[in-house]
A and B are shown apart, each in its own frame.
Chain A
Amino acid sequence: MKKMLLTTGLVTLLGTSVLAETIGVSIARFDDNFLTVMRNGMEEHAATLDGVDLQVEDATDDVAKQLDQINNFIASGVDAIIVNIVDTSAADAMSAAAESAGIPLVYVNREPTNVDTLPDNQAFVASNEIESGTLKAFQICRNLRAAGKSGGARAYMLMGQLSNQAAIQRSKDVEDVLAMDMCSFITLIDSQTAEWSRDQAQDLMTNWLSSGEPFDAVFANNDEMAIGAIQAMKAAGIDMADVEVGGVDATQDALLAMQAGDLDVTVFQDANGQGAGSVDAALALARGEDVEQKVYIPFQLVTPDNVDEFLSRN
């Protein structure tokens, strides 16, 4: 009797493991807002697919830990691996480990440095980071022109963590837009990091305000910092109609701030779309189907005109 139970148990176990496809997922950080939406997007999408199991791990921003997680996935024989990489320059070891085990690997959201030399059964799903900062900066430039400030405008820029690729790229995008003839009337008074954080942005903005410099716009690398700057300006009695504020991410908090008339521009990065897209790419690779090696999910500009469309999307 015992033996029979054991055998049936084993058979069912084998049965399910044959039917279900398991995808190992390693996310850079569980406590990051955007990555959390993306992670939920993956899980929700996987739940709609029959027989797809996700095993999701938190790399807690640790490069070495992430590589260990991937090797553990390989050892337990998953069908595919999705990596939201901690350090974009640490991809070689991961690609090599997955390739030698013959397991498909998909990088999501953060672009690995080896993106142009990926092995055949590996892919990259993300949005093109150059779009985000550019869309935001250009819209603010247009708004300032429309407000009749094309004779000269001054701005502050709040940057994310300076060790982070997205922060560097988004800041560079703003500087590139301000170098264009059409937008060169905007000068940056100062650029400082507020580490992506609303609290630090609030304090930094208040410090800037204490200098009493007149300014017309605030560029922020993400929405949290834009909201922090808005809170500081409102506390100082500045009318938000007089200042153009732009962020990136289109978080719920930011969209509601836009509805309230405080935030002027943000950029929607489709976290759900990236999450679902990475699961689809991983499954297609596991089944030996053809997949584009670079799948770009476009950024979208959000202004008070179209903010309502985005309220339910992230």
Chain B
Amino acid sequence: MAEASHGTGGLTFDKTKRQWPNEMNVFGALILIVAIFEGLGALIMGQSFLFDSNDRFDSIFNEARLKIIILQVAIIGIIALGVTQVIISGGIDLSSGSVVGATAMIAMSFAQVAEVNGNPNPKAVFGPAWMDLPILVPIMVGLLCGIFAGMINGLFVAYARIPPFIATLGMMVSARGVAKWWTSGQPISFPTESYAAIGKGMMPVIIFVVLAVLFHLVMKYTLYGKHTYAIGSNEDAARMSGINVARHKVLVYTIAGMLAGVSAIVLTSKNLTAQSGMGIIYELDAIAMAVIGGVSLAGGRGSIIGTVIGALIFGVIISGFTFLRLDAFYQEMVKGGIIVGAVVLDQWRQQRAARRA
């Protein structure tokens, strides 16, 4: 044994100390929850939750349900991808829901059509010169809004040294104000056909999956990802080892803001409307998805894959309760329990690992 550890500073690979990747545990929880709904479905409804028990589809699965499970969490899931990075870097972002609201209003007002059913658009924000614009305009406006809000968050956190909770809380309140001020509360409806295509059908899911894969690779294989984990684990050590911590934090918050902007574009396109109340408490759902997926609020631990599975758990719960025709109250109670339960399990697992080491 002594020879084996020679040259590694006493750190050897010890099979008994190896842990399952945490994502496997979260995935196990997902399977368990699906199984519970499957069992209750057979018991109460006399039909299957995920499988095609009535022979309505070509495959063995109930495709419609599989689709809605992912579709209904895709938009908040996009936000959660950014929130995950912020939390891994040791911060928090409470502003994403409000940034969605503000971006939705501003971007949508550049995506309107001039005529609806032959009448002039009753919800027109700007004059006719600003209508029927190419799709690139609202997309760029939306992304820039998100980037702008995220960058302000980052600058306050990194350079003004304001705690992230406070800085993003301020943005949460201000951005909601912007959302209401833009049209003094009036909804903005009737986008161009090309804009409506962004969120049509399964497009939100495709956008979510592409972004998830992208940021999974970024977090795992690039310097950006390694620095994010390093800052979250030990900020002073990261600084000593030459990472420009402040600049990196601004980048992380800016990316999170941009993803909130993407989410707003998809949301308004899917619903064909923008309303100043859009995105309320999305930030908490996004944080909950990350936490359920094993992202530690202390920073430095977690992964994009974990958050994606966390989002799927949310989707399964929503669809499962509707499938069983149970009221929304129960859904909220169970959701709350799962959030706390996930952290308790994670803590327990950490302590056990620490004892064994």
Interface residues of A (CB under 8 A from B): 30-33, 35-36, 39, 58, 162, 190, 192-193, 197-199, 202-204, 206-212, 228, 231, 235-236, 252-253, 256, 259-260, 311
Scan residues 249-281 of chain B and give those whose CB is less than 8 A from a CB of chain A: 267, 270-273, 275-278
Contact, CB under 8 Å: B185 / A203: no
Question: Quick check: B273 and A36 within 8 Å, CB to CB?
Answer: no
Minimum C-beta distance from A162 to chain B (A): 7
State A259–B276 Cα separation when bound (angstroms). Answer: 26
- Determine whether the beta carbon of B277 is less than 8 Å from that of A209: no
CA A166 to CA B75, docked complex, whole Å: 29
A31 contacts across to B, CB distance below 8 A = 179-180, 185, 275-277
Of B184, B271, B323, most buried by chain A (CB within 10 Å of CB) is B271
CB neighbours (8 Å) of A212 from chain B are: 54, 56, 62, 64
In the complex, are the beta carbons of A210 and B273 less than 8 A apart? Answer: no
**A203–B273 CB distance below 8 A:** no
Residues of A within 8 A of B270 (CB): 199, 202
0/1 string, B106-143, CB within 8 A of A gives 1? 00000000001101001100000000000000000000
With contacts A36-B185, A207-B323, A253-B123 known, what are 20 further pairs, Cβ within 8 A? Answer: A31-B185, A31-B277, A190-B322, A199-B75, A199-B270, A207-B68, A210-B65, A210-B68, A210-B323, A211-B47, A211-B65, A212-B56, A231-B271, A235-B200, A235-B201, A252-B189, A253-B190, A253-B273, A256-B122, A259-B117
B14 at interface (Cβ–Cβ under 8 A)?
no
Residues in B with CB closer than 8 Å to A209 are: 64
0 or 1 for each of B313-345: is its CB under 8 Å from A? (1 = yes): 000001100110101110000000000000000
What residues on B are CB-neighbors of A210 within 8 Å?
Answer: 62, 64-65, 67-68, 319, 323
Most chain A CB within 10 A, of B54, B179, B190, B270, is at B270
For the complex of A and B, 5 pairs with smallest distance between CB atoms:
A210-B64, A210-B65, A36-B185, A203-B72, A207-B322
B31 → A minimal CB distance (Å): 20
Shortest A168–chain B CB gap in Å is 13
Most chain A beta-carbon contacts within 10 A, residue among B47, B54, B116, B273: B273
Shortest Cβ gap from A61 to chain B (Å): 10
We find that the number of chain B residues with CB closer than 8 angstroms to chain A is 43
Chain A residues closer than 8 Å to B64, beta-carbon distance = 206, 209-210, 212, 236
A204 neighbours in B (Cβ, 8 Å) = 322
Asked if A211 contacts B323 (CB within 8 A), the reply is yes
Residues of B within 8 A of A197 (CB): 277
Complex Cα distance, B45 from A208, in Å, reads 13
The CA-CA distance from A208 to B322 in the complex, in Å, is 7
Among residues of A, the one whose C-beta sits closest to the C-beta of B116 is: A256
A210–B122 alpha-carbon span in the complex (Å): 34
- Cβ–Cβ contact A32 & B189, under 8 A: no
Contacts of A39 in B (CB 8 A): 185
B172-227: which residues lie under 8 A (CB-CB) from chain A? 179-180, 184-187, 189-190, 200-201
Residue of B nearest to A203 (CB): B72
A203 touches B68 (CB 8 A): yes
Please, which residues of chain B bring their CB within 8 A of the CB of A236? 64
Q: Are the CB atoms of A228 and B271 closer together than 8 Å? A: yes
Interface hub of A32, A256, A259, A311 (most chain B Cβ within 10 A):
A256
Smallest CB-CB separation from B201: which chain A residue?
A235
Task: Name which of A209, A210, A212 has the most chain B CB atoms within 10 A of its CB.
Answer: A210
- Quick one: closest A residue to B200, CB to CB? A235
Chain A residues with CB under 8 A of B328: 162, 192-193
A210 to B61, CA, bound (A): 11
Kindly state the separation between the CA atoms of A209 and B63 in the bound complex, as whole angstroms.
Answer: 11
Q: Are B272 and A252 in contact (CB under 8 A)?
A: no
Inter-chain CA distance A253–B62, complex, in Å, is 33
Let me know if B180 and A30 touch, CB within 8 A.
Answer: yes
Does B71 sit within 8 A of A, measured CB to CB? yes
- B271 cross-chain contacts in A, Cβ below 8 A: 198-199, 202, 228, 231
**How many angstroms from the CA of A259 to the CA of B271 in the assembled complex?**
18
The answer to whether A32 touches B185 (Cβ under 8 A) is yes
A30→B322 contact, CB < 8 A: no
In the complex, A199→B190 CA distance in Å?
15
- In the docked arrangement, what's the CA distance between A172 and B142, Å? 41
User: Which of A58, A211, A260 sits near B117, CB closer than 8 Å?
Assistant: A260
Nearest chain B CB to A204 CB, angstrom units? 6
Whole-angstrom distance between the alpha carbons of A33 and B186 in the complex? Answer: 6
Measured in the bound complex, the distance between the Cα atoms of B120 and A311 in whole Å is 12
A228–B47 Cα distance when bound, in Å, is 26
Complexed CA–CA distance, A98 and B276 (Å) = 32
Residues of chain A contacted by B65 (CB below 8 angstroms): 207, 210-211
A204 to B62, CA, bound (A): 16
Of the A-B pairs whose beta carbons lie under 8 Å apart in the complex, a sample of 23, sorted by A's number, is A30-B184, A32-B185, A35-B185, A58-B180, A162-B328, A190-B322, A193-B328, A197-B277, A202-B270, A202-B271, A203-B318, A206-B68, A207-B72, A207-B319, A210-B65, A210-B323, A212-B56, A212-B62, A212-B64, A256-B116, A256-B117, A256-B119, A260-B117
A33 touching B68, Cβ below 8 Å: no
Taking the closest CB of chain A, its distance from the CB of B241, in whole angstroms, is 44
Please report the C-alpha to C-alpha distance between residue A197 and residue B72 in the assembled complex, in whole angstroms.
13
Q: Using a CB-CB cutoff of 8 Å, which residues 278-292 of chain B contact chain A?
A: 278
B187–A253 CB distance below 8 A: yes
Q: Closest CB of chain A to B66's CB: distance in Å?
A: 8
CB distance from B26 to the nearest CB of A (A): 23
> Are B185 and A30 interface neighbours, CB within 8 A?
yes
Which of B117, B185, B272, B276 is packed against the most chain A CB atoms within 10 Å?
B185
- Asked whether, in the complex, the Cβ of B186 is within 8 Å of the Cβ of A36, the reply is yes
